[in-house]
């Protein structure tokens, strides 16, 4: 699946005015993360295990 074919989802914590938007696209191997205001910029990708550790960390904060 190419980056243009990824199914992007906006964070439920993103601002309602279209600002501060983070989007993710999940594949079997990795989670892609991008700033929706700059969708042409190359997103970064993190392994699923790393993404789950990040979510655990954020939930504890």
pTM: 0.74
Kindly list the distances between the CA atom of residue 34 and the CA atoms of 5, 42, 50, in Å, as whole numbers in the listed order. 14, 8, 16
Q: According to the model, what pLDDT value does residue 1 have?
A: 53
For the chain, the structural domain boundaries read 3-60
Averaged pLDDT score across all residues of the chain: 84
**Is pLDDT above 70 for 4?**
no
Q: What are phi and psi of 53, to 5 degrees?
A: -65, -40
Q: How many helices (H) and strands (E) does the chain have?
A: 1, 4
**Is pLDDT above 70 for 2?**
no
């Amino acid at each position: 699946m190419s980056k243009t074919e990824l199914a992007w989802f906006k964070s439920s914590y993103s601002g309602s005015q279209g600002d501060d938007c983070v989007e993710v696209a999940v594949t079997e191997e990795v989670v892609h993360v991008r700033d929706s205001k700059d969708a042409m910029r190359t997103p970064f990708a993190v392994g699923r295990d790393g993404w789950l550790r990040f979510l655990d960390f954020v939930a504890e904060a």
